[in-house]
Amino acid sequence: MNHKIASSIPVLDLSKLTGSPSERTEFLQALRVAARDIGFFYLINHGVDHSLLAQVQNQSRAFFALPTQEKEQVAMIHSPHFRGYNRAASERTRGQPDWREQFDLGAERLPIRQHDDLPAWTRLQGPNQWPASLPQLKPLLLRWQQVMTAMSLQILRAFAESLDLPADAFDPLYGDKPNEHIKLIRYPGREAAQSSQGVGAHKDSGFLSFLLQDQQKGLQVEVADGQWVDALPIEGAFVVNIGELLELATNGYLRATVHRVIAPAAGEERLSIAFFLGARLDAVVPVFQLPAELAAQANGPESDPQNPLLRDVGWNYLKGRLRSHPDVAERYYADILVS
């Protein structure tokens, strides 16, 4: 590949997007370069209230501090929509257990009434599970989800402009039902003799991912084959990365980059809160016609032979969920699993 090798992750200032014409042009160019060459960047001055972020972090810590029995009452195994709590080592990446406990949420919607003619991915839509002892968690996270969706759609439209596409070029892919996904993640410390896999090396499957980190390092980005860079925490900033849908939509001009998380040392822990913006489940991702100069630099999407990309969003998302959570898959999707 001809991507430029970077030794650090760039910092982008979202306030420039609504600044002077020259600042807006500067931001759009920096956005395209960051997404093209690295696939990751820090986002500062993003407009998401810092007190809201602090509340989300505090309530996330409160959730993970609940007794195990209370967390297990909202375990993912109770949800055909892959929502809820997983203890450490429950989720797998490339077949290996991830040493993190987490709480997954999606868009709060009614389930789709099922019948034989519907594809299995329609089972993904539905309500979240919420812990009874933390009643404030639901309104807080749904508010944060709404704020993050608005901000991320602003970024997605900026991406379209940076590629000389109409600003609304990607709009039909998310429509009125974007696939909004939140993960609250706690990484417990591990002894040196244990596996250091907090999360194994992977790409994200949606449009854009936003990560709010605490002060503990751990996230690493593969900027070139075998070359990893630490995405060290920056107070109040999001770490943003490109998902496979944007790589597909731009024929590989934009880059979905492999990344991983190294577990903290024994006696320490790490809290991360992730927001993922994906396309609506019934969408099919087209290849957008880029200007000739940009199209000539598109390398085609890089697909993992063990986990090939699908343009049908619902099937692509379901495929990833089935691989990551085999216990949920066996309970609710046994009819489509390949033996």
Could you write out the DSSP letters of every residue in 65-117? TS-HHHHHTTBGGG-TT--EEE-TT-SEETTEE---EEEEEE---PPPPP-TT
If pLDDT is split at 50, 70 and 90, which confidence band does 301 have?
A: confident
Q: Domain with 221 in it: what CATH number? A: 2.60.120.330
What distance in Å separates the CA atoms of residue 129 and residue 78, rounded to the nearest whole number?
A: 9
Whether 279 is covered by a domain: the verdict is yes
Residues 241-286: tens digit of each pLDDT: 998 889 989 999 998 999 999 989 889 999 999 999 999 999 999 9
Give the position of tokens 């495929």. 319
pLDDT at position 316 is 87
Read off the pTM: 0.93
pLDDT at 181 over 80: yes
Query: Does some domain include residue 4?
Result: no
What Cα–Cα distance (Å) separates residue 145 from each residue in 27, 109, 117, 157, 183? 25, 13, 32, 18, 11
Indicate whether 171 belongs to any domain: yes
pLDDT band at 174 (very low <50, low <70, confident <90, very high): confident
Closest CA to 253 of 34, 28, 19: 34
Q: Provide the pLDDT confidence category of residue 5 given band limits of 50, 70 and 90.
A: very low
Helix (H) or strand (E) holding 22: helix 21-37
Among 13-17, 198-202, 302-306, 331-335, the least confident range: 302-306
What average pLDDT does the segment 185-191 reach? 88
Asked if residue 164 is part of any domain, the answer here is yes
pLDDT digits (tens, 9 = 90+) for 26-74: 999 999 999 998 999 999 999 999 999 999 999 999 999 999 999 999 9
Domains contained in the chain, number? 1
Comparing CA positions, the residue from 193, 294, 216 lying closest to residue 252 is 294
Does the pLDDT value for residue 7 go beyond 60? no
Using CB atoms within 10 Å of the CB of residue 80, give its burial: 0 to 12 exposed, 13 to 18 middle, 19+ buried. middle
Question: Which residues fall within 8 angstroms of residue 285, CB to CB, at 6 or more apart?
Answer: 173, 245, 248, 249, 279, 311, 313
Both tokens of residue 196? 């250091």
Q: What DSSP line would sit under 190-202, residue for residue?
A: B-TTS--EEEEEE
- pLDDT tens digits, residue range 97-109? 788 999 999 999 9
Q: Is 265 a member of any domain?
A: yes
Which residues fall within 8 angstroms of residue 29, CB to CB, at 6 or more apart?
A: 162
Per-residue confidence (pLDDT) for residue 68, from 0 to 100? 95
In a domain? residue 339: no
Is residue 53, in this structure, part of any structural domain at all? yes
Given this model, what pLDDT does residue 184 score? 98
Say if CB 141 and CB 58 are below 8 A apart.
no
Report if residue 5 sits inside a domain.
no
Query: Residue 157, Cβ neighbours under 10 Å: how many?
Result: 18
Structural domain range at position 190:
11-332
Which residues lie below 8 Å from residue 129, measured CB to CB, with a gap of 6+? Answer: 74, 78, 79, 83, 84, 85
